Structure 1
Amino acid sequence: MSIARPFTEDLAHDPKRSKIECRLALCFSDEDKVGTLQPYDDALVVTLRIGGYDVKRVLVDQGNGTEIMYPNLYKGLKLRPEDLACYDSPLVGFDGKTVILKAQIRFPVQAGSEVVEVDFIVVDVYSPYTTIMARLWFHAMGIVSSTLYLKVKYPSRDQVKELIGSQSMARQCLVAAIRHQTGSESSTPTEESL
Protein backbone atom coordinates (compact mmCIF):
# COMPACT_ATOMS: atom_id res chain seq x y z
CA MET A 1 0.00 0.00 0.00
CA SER A 2 1.44 3.36 -0.95
CA ILE A 3 0.19 6.92 -1.17
CA ALA A 4 2.29 9.86 -2.32
CA ARG A 5 1.99 13.19 -0.53
CA PRO A 6 3.49 16.28 -2.20
CA PHE A 7 5.62 18.88 -0.49
CA THR A 8 7.42 21.86 -1.99
CA GLU A 9 10.87 23.23 -1.34
CA ASP A 10 12.05 26.75 -2.22
CA LEU A 11 15.11 26.93 -4.41
CA ALA A 12 16.53 30.40 -3.95
CA HIS A 13 19.65 29.55 -5.92
CA ASP A 14 17.72 28.79 -9.15
CA PRO A 15 16.13 31.94 -10.63
CA LYS A 16 14.27 29.98 -13.33
CA ARG A 17 12.37 27.82 -10.85
CA SER A 18 11.13 29.15 -7.56
CA LYS A 19 9.89 25.78 -6.24
CA ILE A 20 10.43 22.10 -6.82
CA GLU A 21 7.85 19.48 -5.91
CA CYS A 22 8.84 16.17 -4.37
CA ARG A 23 6.55 13.36 -3.38
CA LEU A 24 6.69 11.53 -0.07
CA ALA A 25 5.60 7.91 -0.34
CA LEU A 26 3.49 6.75 2.59
CA CYS A 27 3.84 3.03 2.11
CA PHE A 28 4.04 -0.21 4.08
CA SER A 29 6.29 -3.21 3.51
CA ASP A 30 7.02 -6.51 5.24
CA GLU A 31 9.63 -4.67 7.33
CA ASP A 32 6.74 -2.84 9.00
CA LYS A 33 5.54 -6.18 10.46
CA VAL A 34 8.79 -6.70 12.40
CA GLY A 35 8.01 -6.78 16.12
CA THR A 36 4.38 -7.88 15.78
CA LEU A 37 3.20 -11.26 16.98
CA GLN A 38 1.93 -13.24 13.98
CA PRO A 39 -0.74 -14.20 13.09
CA TYR A 40 -3.01 -11.54 14.58
CA ASP A 41 -6.27 -9.70 14.09
CA ASP A 42 -5.77 -6.86 16.55
CA ALA A 43 -7.29 -3.40 16.42
CA LEU A 44 -4.97 -0.46 15.77
CA VAL A 45 -4.51 1.04 19.25
CA VAL A 46 -1.92 3.77 19.84
CA THR A 47 -0.86 6.40 22.36
CA LEU A 48 -1.39 10.06 21.41
CA ARG A 49 -0.80 13.38 23.15
CA ILE A 50 -4.25 14.90 23.74
CA GLY A 51 -4.72 18.17 25.59
CA GLY A 52 -1.13 18.03 26.84
CA TYR A 53 -1.37 14.45 28.21
CA ASP A 54 -0.09 11.15 26.84
CA VAL A 55 -3.28 9.18 26.35
CA LYS A 56 -3.19 5.38 25.95
CA ARG A 57 -5.84 3.09 24.48
CA VAL A 58 -6.63 5.35 21.50
CA LEU A 59 -8.47 3.38 18.80
CA VAL A 60 -7.54 4.46 15.27
CA ASP A 61 -10.63 3.77 13.13
CA GLN A 62 -10.73 5.06 9.58
CA GLY A 63 -14.27 3.72 9.23
CA ASN A 64 -15.57 6.07 11.93
CA GLY A 65 -16.82 9.52 10.95
CA THR A 66 -16.60 11.20 14.36
CA GLU A 67 -13.88 11.51 16.99
CA ILE A 68 -15.27 10.14 20.25
CA MET A 69 -14.17 10.76 23.85
CA TYR A 70 -15.23 8.24 26.51
CA PRO A 71 -15.80 8.80 30.27
CA ASN A 72 -12.33 7.62 31.38
CA LEU A 73 -10.61 10.31 29.33
CA TYR A 74 -13.24 12.94 30.16
CA LYS A 75 -12.65 12.33 33.88
CA GLY A 76 -8.87 11.97 33.46
CA LEU A 77 -8.66 15.39 31.81
CA LYS A 78 -10.70 16.81 34.73
CA LEU A 79 -13.22 18.38 32.38
CA ARG A 80 -16.17 20.28 33.84
CA PRO A 81 -19.60 20.71 32.28
CA GLU A 82 -18.80 24.37 31.53
CA ASP A 83 -15.83 23.22 29.39
CA LEU A 84 -18.20 21.52 26.97
CA ALA A 85 -20.17 22.90 24.03
CA CYS A 86 -23.69 21.67 23.17
CA TYR A 87 -24.00 18.87 20.65
CA ASP A 88 -27.40 17.44 19.80
CA SER A 89 -27.02 15.28 16.69
CA PRO A 90 -27.90 11.62 17.25
CA LEU A 91 -25.04 9.14 17.40
CA VAL A 92 -25.40 5.39 16.93
CA GLY A 93 -23.00 3.01 18.69
CA PHE A 94 -21.32 -0.15 17.42
CA ASP A 95 -24.24 -2.20 18.72
CA GLY A 96 -26.82 -0.14 16.77
CA LYS A 97 -28.15 1.62 19.88
CA THR A 98 -28.40 5.39 20.22
CA VAL A 99 -25.53 6.68 22.34
CA ILE A 100 -26.01 9.12 25.21
CA LEU A 101 -24.23 12.34 24.27
CA LYS A 102 -22.78 14.69 26.83
CA ALA A 103 -21.48 17.40 24.52
CA GLN A 104 -18.57 18.42 22.32
CA ILE A 105 -15.10 19.74 23.12
CA ARG A 106 -12.10 20.82 21.06
CA PHE A 107 -8.64 19.59 22.04
CA PRO A 108 -5.21 19.65 20.41
CA VAL A 109 -4.03 16.20 19.34
CA GLN A 110 -0.30 15.76 18.82
CA ALA A 111 1.48 13.05 16.84
CA GLY A 112 5.22 13.69 16.82
CA SER A 113 5.64 17.39 16.11
CA GLU A 114 2.31 17.69 14.25
CA VAL A 115 -0.63 19.18 16.16
CA VAL A 116 -4.24 19.29 14.95
CA GLU A 117 -7.25 20.75 16.76
CA VAL A 118 -9.93 18.04 16.98
CA ASP A 119 -13.62 18.27 17.92
CA PHE A 120 -14.48 15.31 20.14
CA ILE A 121 -18.02 14.17 20.84
CA VAL A 122 -18.15 13.30 24.55
CA VAL A 123 -20.35 10.26 25.18
CA ASP A 124 -21.49 8.63 28.40
CA VAL A 125 -21.15 4.94 27.58
CA TYR A 126 -18.64 2.26 28.50
CA SER A 127 -15.67 1.62 26.23
CA PRO A 128 -12.33 -0.06 26.88
CA TYR A 129 -10.83 2.70 24.71
CA THR A 130 -10.29 6.25 25.93
CA THR A 131 -11.08 7.77 22.55
CA ILE A 132 -11.60 6.98 18.88
CA MET A 133 -9.70 8.93 16.25
CA ALA A 134 -11.62 9.06 12.98
CA ARG A 135 -11.58 10.30 9.39
CA LEU A 136 -11.52 14.04 10.17
CA TRP A 137 -8.25 13.63 12.05
CA PHE A 138 -6.90 11.34 9.30
CA HIS A 139 -7.61 13.94 6.64
CA ALA A 140 -6.22 16.87 8.65
CA MET A 141 -2.95 15.00 9.29
CA GLY A 142 -2.67 13.35 5.86
CA ILE A 143 -2.60 9.94 7.56
CA VAL A 144 -2.50 6.48 6.04
CA SER A 145 -3.17 3.65 8.48
CA SER A 146 -2.90 -0.11 8.26
CA THR A 147 -4.29 -2.69 10.65
CA LEU A 148 -2.26 -5.31 8.76
CA TYR A 149 0.98 -3.55 9.70
CA LEU A 150 -0.40 -2.02 12.94
CA LYS A 151 0.93 1.41 12.00
CA VAL A 152 -0.13 4.93 11.16
CA LYS A 153 2.09 6.91 8.76
CA TYR A 154 1.89 10.63 8.06
CA PRO A 155 3.95 13.35 6.40
CA SER A 156 5.81 15.72 8.71
CA ARG A 157 7.70 18.45 6.89
CA ASP A 158 9.84 16.49 4.41
CA GLN A 159 9.77 13.14 6.26
CA VAL A 160 7.41 10.23 6.82
CA LYS A 161 6.65 9.70 10.52
CA GLU A 162 4.80 6.79 12.09
CA LEU A 163 2.82 5.70 15.12
CA ILE A 164 3.13 2.05 16.05
CA GLY A 165 0.12 0.20 17.39
CA SER A 166 0.31 -1.78 20.62
CA GLN A 167 -0.86 -5.36 20.32
CA SER A 168 -0.85 -5.85 24.09
CA MET A 169 -2.99 -2.76 24.62
CA ALA A 170 -5.39 -3.86 21.87
CA ARG A 171 -5.74 -7.29 23.46
CA GLN A 172 -6.31 -5.82 26.92
CA CYS A 173 -9.10 -3.68 25.47
CA LEU A 174 -10.67 -6.72 23.79
CA VAL A 175 -10.60 -8.71 27.04
CA ALA A 176 -12.09 -5.75 28.96
CA ALA A 177 -14.90 -5.40 26.39
CA ILE A 178 -15.74 -9.11 26.63
CA ARG A 179 -15.73 -9.00 30.44
CA HIS A 180 -17.93 -5.92 30.43
CA GLN A 181 -20.40 -7.53 28.04
CA THR A 182 -20.63 -10.72 30.09
CA GLY A 183 -20.69 -8.74 33.36
CA SER A 184 -17.75 -10.62 34.87
CA GLU A 185 -14.92 -9.07 36.88
CA SER A 186 -13.71 -5.53 36.41
CA SER A 187 -14.31 -4.01 33.00
CA THR A 188 -11.42 -1.54 33.19
CA PRO A 189 -8.29 -2.39 31.18
CA THR A 190 -5.18 -2.97 33.29
CA GLU A 191 -3.19 -0.18 31.59
CA GLU A 192 -4.61 3.15 32.72
CA SER A 193 -4.70 6.21 30.52
CA LEU A 194 -3.03 9.48 31.50
Structure 2
Amino acid sequence: MVGTIQPHKDALVVTLRIGEYDVRMMMVDQGNAVDIMYPDLYKGLGLKPKPKDLTTYNSPLVSFEGRMVALKGLIRLPVQAGTDVVEVDFIVVDVFSPYTAIMGKPWLHTLKAVSSTLHQKVKYPSGGQVLEIVGSQAAAWQCLVAAIQRRPEAETSATTDNEL
Protein backbone atom coordinates (compact mmCIF):
# COMPACT_ATOMS: atom_id res chain seq x y z
CA MET A 1 0.00 0.00 0.00
CA VAL A 2 3.08 2.22 -0.19
CA GLY A 3 2.26 5.38 -2.11
CA THR A 4 -1.48 5.25 -1.48
CA ILE A 5 -3.57 7.41 0.80
CA GLN A 6 -5.18 5.11 3.35
CA PRO A 7 -7.87 4.38 4.26
CA HIS A 8 -9.71 4.80 0.98
CA LYS A 9 -12.57 3.44 -1.13
CA ASP A 10 -11.21 4.66 -4.45
CA ALA A 11 -11.77 2.94 -7.76
CA LEU A 12 -8.69 1.59 -9.50
CA VAL A 13 -8.08 4.08 -12.31
CA VAL A 14 -5.09 3.61 -14.61
CA THR A 15 -3.47 4.94 -17.76
CA LEU A 16 -2.93 2.48 -20.61
CA ARG A 17 -1.76 2.92 -24.19
CA ILE A 18 -4.18 2.35 -27.05
CA GLY A 19 -2.52 2.67 -30.43
CA GLU A 20 -0.47 5.85 -30.31
CA TYR A 21 -2.31 7.38 -27.33
CA ASP A 22 -1.81 7.23 -23.58
CA VAL A 23 -5.38 6.97 -22.32
CA ARG A 24 -6.12 8.20 -18.82
CA MET A 25 -9.18 7.61 -16.64
CA MET A 26 -9.55 3.91 -17.43
CA MET A 27 -11.24 2.06 -14.57
CA VAL A 28 -10.19 -1.50 -13.80
CA ASP A 29 -13.21 -3.49 -12.63
CA GLN A 30 -12.62 -7.19 -12.03
CA GLY A 31 -16.39 -7.68 -11.68
CA ASN A 32 -17.13 -6.45 -15.19
CA ALA A 33 -17.76 -9.25 -17.70
CA VAL A 34 -16.85 -7.06 -20.71
CA ASP A 35 -14.41 -4.31 -21.63
CA ILE A 36 -16.26 -1.07 -22.32
CA MET A 37 -15.36 2.07 -24.23
CA TYR A 38 -17.28 5.33 -23.92
CA PRO A 39 -18.01 7.80 -26.75
CA ASP A 40 -15.42 10.44 -25.81
CA LEU A 41 -12.58 7.93 -26.07
CA TYR A 42 -13.92 6.46 -29.31
CA LYS A 43 -14.00 9.93 -30.88
CA GLY A 44 -10.68 10.92 -29.29
CA LEU A 45 -8.93 7.96 -30.89
CA GLY A 46 -10.16 9.18 -34.28
CA LEU A 47 -12.18 6.03 -34.94
CA LYS A 48 -14.86 6.10 -37.61
CA PRO A 49 -18.56 5.35 -37.19
CA LYS A 50 -20.07 2.13 -38.54
CA PRO A 51 -19.31 0.11 -40.57
CA LYS A 52 -15.64 1.06 -40.96
CA ASP A 53 -14.35 0.37 -37.43
CA LEU A 54 -17.29 -1.14 -35.55
CA THR A 55 -18.77 -4.61 -35.86
CA THR A 56 -22.24 -5.52 -34.66
CA TYR A 57 -22.66 -6.58 -31.04
CA ASN A 58 -26.14 -7.79 -30.13
CA SER A 59 -25.95 -9.09 -26.56
CA PRO A 60 -27.88 -6.97 -24.06
CA LEU A 61 -25.90 -4.83 -21.63
CA VAL A 62 -27.30 -3.40 -18.40
CA SER A 63 -25.94 -0.26 -16.71
CA PHE A 64 -25.07 0.13 -13.04
CA GLU A 65 -28.55 1.66 -12.59
CA GLY A 66 -30.22 -1.44 -14.05
CA ARG A 67 -31.16 0.17 -17.39
CA MET A 68 -30.48 -1.21 -20.85
CA VAL A 69 -27.50 0.48 -22.49
CA ALA A 70 -27.46 1.71 -26.10
CA LEU A 71 -24.73 -0.26 -27.87
CA LYS A 72 -22.85 1.18 -30.82
CA GLY A 73 -20.92 -2.00 -31.59
CA LEU A 74 -17.66 -3.81 -30.93
CA ILE A 75 -14.12 -2.84 -31.84
CA ARG A 76 -10.86 -4.75 -31.34
CA LEU A 77 -7.87 -2.61 -30.40
CA PRO A 78 -4.36 -3.26 -29.08
CA VAL A 79 -3.94 -2.18 -25.45
CA GLN A 80 -0.43 -1.81 -24.07
CA ALA A 81 0.52 -2.25 -20.43
CA GLY A 82 4.26 -1.76 -19.96
CA THR A 83 5.83 -3.60 -22.89
CA ASP A 84 2.99 -6.13 -23.18
CA VAL A 85 0.29 -5.61 -25.81
CA VAL A 86 -2.98 -7.55 -25.83
CA GLU A 87 -5.89 -7.34 -28.23
CA VAL A 88 -9.04 -6.14 -26.48
CA ASP A 89 -12.62 -6.38 -27.73
CA PHE A 90 -14.28 -3.19 -26.50
CA ILE A 91 -18.03 -2.81 -26.50
CA VAL A 92 -18.71 0.79 -27.45
CA VAL A 93 -21.67 2.21 -25.55
CA ASP A 94 -23.49 5.51 -25.91
CA VAL A 95 -23.87 6.64 -22.30
CA PHE A 96 -22.15 9.14 -20.03
CA SER A 97 -19.26 7.96 -17.88
CA PRO A 98 -16.58 9.88 -16.02
CA TYR A 99 -14.22 7.10 -17.16
CA THR A 100 -12.90 6.74 -20.70
CA ALA A 101 -13.17 2.95 -20.54
CA ILE A 102 -13.74 0.06 -18.16
CA MET A 103 -11.21 -2.75 -18.30
CA GLY A 104 -12.94 -5.89 -17.08
CA LYS A 105 -12.33 -9.61 -16.76
CA PRO A 106 -11.54 -10.24 -20.44
CA TRP A 107 -8.55 -7.85 -20.36
CA LEU A 108 -7.41 -8.99 -16.91
CA HIS A 109 -7.60 -12.68 -17.92
CA THR A 110 -5.79 -12.13 -21.23
CA LEU A 111 -3.00 -10.29 -19.41
CA LYS A 112 -3.11 -12.97 -16.63
CA ALA A 113 -3.38 -10.05 -14.22
CA VAL A 114 -4.55 -9.58 -10.66
CA SER A 115 -5.98 -6.23 -9.60
CA SER A 116 -6.35 -4.71 -6.15
CA THR A 117 -8.29 -1.54 -5.43
CA LEU A 118 -6.86 -1.52 -1.89
CA HIS A 119 -3.29 -1.52 -3.17
CA GLN A 120 -4.17 0.56 -6.27
CA LYS A 121 -2.28 -1.85 -8.51
CA VAL A 122 -2.61 -4.36 -11.30
CA LYS A 123 0.12 -7.03 -11.31
CA TYR A 124 0.81 -9.40 -14.18
CA PRO A 125 3.54 -11.83 -15.30
CA SER A 126 5.83 -10.78 -18.12
CA GLY A 127 9.13 -12.26 -19.26
CA GLY A 128 9.75 -14.24 -16.07
CA GLN A 129 8.99 -11.34 -13.74
CA VAL A 130 5.94 -9.66 -12.23
CA LEU A 131 5.18 -6.18 -13.55
CA GLU A 132 2.72 -3.70 -12.12
CA ILE A 133 0.48 -0.90 -13.25
CA VAL A 134 -0.07 1.67 -10.53
CA GLY A 135 -3.45 3.33 -10.21
CA SER A 136 -4.01 7.04 -9.72
CA GLN A 137 -6.08 8.05 -6.73
CA ALA A 138 -6.12 11.62 -8.06
CA ALA A 139 -7.69 10.41 -11.32
CA ALA A 140 -10.21 8.34 -9.33
CA TRP A 141 -11.18 11.47 -7.37
CA GLN A 142 -11.56 13.46 -10.61
CA CYS A 143 -13.89 10.80 -11.97
CA LEU A 144 -15.89 10.77 -8.74
CA VAL A 145 -16.29 14.55 -8.83
CA ALA A 146 -17.40 14.41 -12.48
CA ALA A 147 -19.99 11.75 -11.64
CA ILE A 148 -21.30 13.71 -8.65
CA GLN A 149 -21.52 16.94 -10.65
CA ARG A 150 -23.59 15.19 -13.31
CA ARG A 151 -25.81 13.30 -10.84
CA PRO A 152 -27.81 16.23 -9.40
CA GLU A 153 -29.28 16.94 -12.86
CA ALA A 154 -30.81 13.46 -12.99
CA GLU A 155 -32.05 13.68 -9.39
CA THR A 156 -33.53 17.13 -9.96
CA SER A 157 -35.47 16.07 -13.04
CA ALA A 158 -36.66 12.88 -11.31
CA THR A 159 -37.80 14.89 -8.28
CA THR A 160 -39.57 17.42 -10.49
CA ASP A 161 -41.34 14.64 -12.43
CA ASN A 162 -42.47 13.00 -9.19
CA GLU A 163 -43.81 16.27 -7.78
CA LEU A 164 -46.01 17.04 -10.79
TM-score normalised according to structure 2 size: 0.90
Structure 2 counterpart of 1:189: none
C-alpha separation in 2, matches of 1:70 and 1:105: 12
Q: Which residue of 1 aligns with 2:157?
A: none
1:119 aligns with 2:85: no
Q: CA deviation at 1:52?
A: 2.4
**1:83 match: secondary structure:** coil
How far apart are the structure 1 equivalents of 2:25 and 2:102?
9
Calculate the aligned-residue CA RMSD, in Å.
1.1
Q: Which SS does the other structure have where 1:149 is aligned?
A: coil
- Cα displacement (A) at 1:35: 1.3
Is 1:65 aligned to 2:30, yes or no?
no
Match of residue 47, structure 2, among 79, 85, 89: 79
- Partner amino acid, structure 1, of 2:28: V
Whether 1:167 and 2:109 are equivalent positions in the alignment is no
**SS at the partner of 1:183?**
helix
Whichever of the two has the greater Rg, that structure is 1
The TM-score normalised by the length of structure 1 is 0.76
* Structure 1 letter corresponding to 2:27: L
Displacement of 1:51 in angstroms is 2.3
Alignment of 1:31-110 (within 5 A): 33-81=1-49, 82-110=52-80
Structure 1 residue 102, shift from structure 2 partner: 0.4
| Structure with more of its chain in helix, by fraction | 2
Spell out, residue by residue over 1:166-187, the C-alpha distance to the aligned partner (whole angstroms, 9 max, x if none). 0000011011001111139xxx
Range that drifts further, 33-42 or 128-137: 33-42
How far apart, CA to CA, are the structure 1 residues paired with 2:69 and 2:3?
A: 37
- Larger RCO: 1 or 2 (CA < 8 Å, sep 6+): 2
What is the DSSP-based 3-state SS (H/G/I as helix, E as strand, rest coil) of the residue aligned with 1:59? strand
Moved beyond 3 Å, runs of 4+: none
Task: Choose the corresponding residue for 1:181, options 119, 129, 151.
Answer: 151
2:5 and 2:37 map into 1 onto residues whose CA distance is: 29
Partner of 1:148 in structure 2?
A: 118
- Cα shift at 1:88: 1.4
Aligned-pair identity (%):
64
Any unmatched runs of 5+ in structure 1?
A: 1-32, 185-194
Alpha-carbon offset, residue 41 of structure 1: 0.7
Partner of 2:158: none
Corresponding residue for residue 161 of structure 2: none
